Amino acid sequence: MSAFREALGGLQPERGEAGPAGRRWLYVPADQLTDRVGPLATEPPGELGIVLLETLWRPRPRVDHKQKLALALASLRHFAIEQARRGVAIRYEVGDAPYAELLEPVARELGGLRMMEAAEYEMRESLEPLVQSGLIEVLPNETWMTSRAQFVETFAESGRWRMDAFYRRVRRDSGILMESGKPVGGRFSFDPENRRRWSGEPPAPEPPRFPVDAIKREVTDLIDGSLGHHPGRLDPARLPATRADAETLWSWALEACLPCFGPFEDAMSVDSRNLFHTRVSALLNNGRLLARRLVEDVLALDIPIASQEGFIRQVMGWREFMRHVHAETDGFRRLPSHGQPNALGAREPLPPAYWGTPSGLFCLDRVVEDVWETGYGHHITRLMVLSNLATLLAVDPRELTDWFWVAYVDAYDLSTCRNEDVLVLADGDYVVRQHTMHARTHRGQDYTNVYCFVFRFDDQGRIRYLTEHWNTWHAYNVLFNNFEIEPAHPLD
């Protein structure tokens, strides 16, 4: 790590009054890379020091996408340099041990640490003994826009967690997109306007590329070398690892994506991976961009309300809602008001197709290819293709969640366990389409879920056969084990 260490070394304070010893120290996890909130925003940089940990330890084998690892490491190193330039002292620890193991001796040496509450279950759990022993003082995590009280109070009566109820509550509390107590435009959601097909017009923007510097190169060399067995393609020009890169990405999103965000937010196309999605999730999740600022910038845009509201609902609604659900359920380990995290009793392994073995299903193969190529896919491909098929195939939700976790650059333990009321339309030889229905799993359990049609096309693209699958086990065999389709409804 010579380029990084050299750059950092040249910026470190000398011993003495302004040196490391006289400072108040913070631990900054890799998903809090910001000086816009918390002590880094309010206390003089010359009085502060931060500890950053670079550890490749994992509690269980998790073969993260190379691009994801590269973004994490390059962002951490660049954040260290940026903070050192502000005059903050840096303690950059590298190791291969759990967070607590690396942090404990440092915390003792520095006389204790403060940190904003970790968003990740795994880190909270690992650091708990240090918190209990008083070595770490936990401060509120100010990167979020909403409070636990808002979430808990919204559902105090119903006991059912619904995003729309939470979102309305947050809109009312914050006054965002509200006028005299009423939602701007007369409605809280403009979803009916936001379901347009995209047929190529207006053209979808190309995401920006970012300068490749010595630190990014060093990180990509490290990953290509000792972590070369990890999956996915590594593209150093697609790493928004510096503060300046984050600003470039966000300016592009505001200008090129937001005006058309709403109408096409639920569209899928093989001609654009991105459509008008902003790709900011990885930077929201690592703290480079803050939700509050994104919402303020989008409110300041002169764009149609359907796009403005559509984006704000994702960031202030869905994202915050999922964060509270995640916190209340200990990272989906227990779901008090919804039963077990595996309500369908699904236990099948994830098919090899998710790791890149061609399945013959055009939609699945295409989305999977995109993910391993870029570490990205927008929410519709995640939900409607990957999650839907996995639900139909009775894949163990934990396996699917773990797959999302390693495959996506932005993935930080957000759950994919509960996807319902879904509709899938896939291209190519087969089309799978689902409707909500009551059905029975192959293990004999009743559930309200989806209903699967398999269409087979002839050479001219006309539907040749249609079969309905009342149980997911049979659909699995038809789609993946090449079982003969019984033409329940031959169409010619």
Ligand X SMILES: Cc1cc2nc3c(=O)[nH]c(=O)nc-3n(C[C@H](O)[C@H](O)[C@H](O)COP(=O)(O)OP(=O)(O)OC[C@H]3O[C@@H](n4cnc5c(N)ncnc54)[C@H](O)[C@@H]3O)c2cc1C
User: Binding to ligand X by residue 414, rule CB under 6 A?
Assistant: yes
Alpha-carbon distance of 371 to 66, in angstroms, equals 11
Q: Strands of 411-462 (E only): list them.
A: 430-440, 446-457
Residue number, 104 or 266, with CB nearest to ligand X: 266
Residue number, 161 or 408, with CB nearest to ligand X: 408
Q: Which residues contact 330 (CB under 8 A, 6 or more apart)?
A: 121
Which range, of 8-16, 216-224, 316-324, 354-362, touches ligand X by CB under 6 A?
316-324
> At 53, which helix (H) or strand (E)?
strand 48-55
416 — alpha (psi -120 to 50), left (phi > 0) or beta?
alpha
Alpha-carbon distance of 102 to 346, in angstroms, equals 38
What minimum distance in Å lies between the beta carbon of 205 and ligand X? 12
Neighbouring C-beta atoms of residue 457, cutoff 10 Å: 14
User: Binding to ligand X by residue 315, rule CB under 6 A?
Assistant: yes
Binding to ligand X, residues 278-297 (CB under 6 A): 278-281, 284-285
What minimum distance in Å lies between the beta carbon of 252 and ligand X? 11
Residue number, 96 or 420, with CB nearest to ligand X: 420
Among 171, 277, 292, 324, binds ligand X (CB under 6 A): 277
Which range, of 47-55, 57-65, 102-110, 274-282, touches ligand X by CB under 6 A?
274-282
Residue number, 386 or 439, with CB nearest to ligand X: 386
Q: Which residues contact 208 (CB under 8 A, 6 or more apart)?
A: 248, 249, 252
Instruction: Report CA-CA distances (Å) from 267 to 48, 239, 263, 276, 282.
Output: 47, 26, 8, 10, 21
Residue number, 238 or 279, with CB nearest to ligand X: 279
User: Binding to ligand X by residue 322, rule CB under 6 A?
Assistant: yes
Cα-only R_g, the chain = 24
What minimum distance in Å lies between the beta carbon of 414 and ligand X? 4
User: Binding to ligand X by residue 404, rule CB under 6 A?
Assistant: yes
What minimum distance in Å lies between the beta carbon of 249 and ligand X? 10
Residue number, 363 or 414, with CB nearest to ligand X: 414
Binding to ligand X, residues 420-439 (CB under 6 A): none
Among 31, 35, 245, 410, binds ligand X (CB under 6 A): 410
User: Binding to ligand X by residue 314, rule CB under 6 A?
Assistant: yes
What minimum distance in Å lies between the beta carbon of 247 and ligand X? 16
- Give the count of residues interacting with ligand X (CB under 6 A): 24
Task: Enter the DSSP assignment of 287.
Answer: T
User: Binding to ligand X by residue 408, rule CB under 6 A?
Assistant: yes
Task: Enter the DSSP assignment of 18.
Answer: T
Alpha-carbon distance of 310 to 265, in angstroms, equals 8
Mask: binding to ligand X, 364-393, rule CB under 6 A, as x and -? --------------xx--xx---x------
Residue-by-residue DSSP string for 202-264: SPPPPPP-----HHHHHHHHHHHHHTTTS-S---GGG---SHHHHHHHHHHIIIIIHHHHTTT
User: Binding to ligand X by residue 273, rule CB under 6 A?
Assistant: no
User: Binding to ligand X by residue 242, rule CB under 6 A?
Assistant: no
What minimum distance in Å lies between the beta carbon of 134 and ligand X? 33
Residue number, 117 or 320, with CB nearest to ligand X: 320
Is 401:415 a contact under the CB 8 Å cutoff? yes
User: Binding to ligand X by residue 416, rule CB under 6 A?
Assistant: yes
User: Binding to ligand X by residue 319, rule CB under 6 A?
Assistant: yes
Is 430:454 a contact under the CB 8 Å cutoff? yes
Q: Which residues contact 355 (CB under 8 A, 6 or more apart)?
A: 231, 368
Residue number, 219 or 414, with CB nearest to ligand X: 414
Is 468:488 a contact under the CB 8 Å cutoff? yes
What minimum distance in Å lies between the beta carbon of 55 and ligand X? 21
Which range, of 12-20, 178-186, 195-203, 408-416, touches ligand X by CB under 6 A?
408-416
Alpha-carbon distance of 117 to 123, in angstroms, equals 10
Residues lying near ligand X in the complex (CB under 6 A) are found at: 277-281, 284-285, 314-315, 318-319, 322, 378-379, 382-383, 387, 404, 408, 410-412, 414, 416
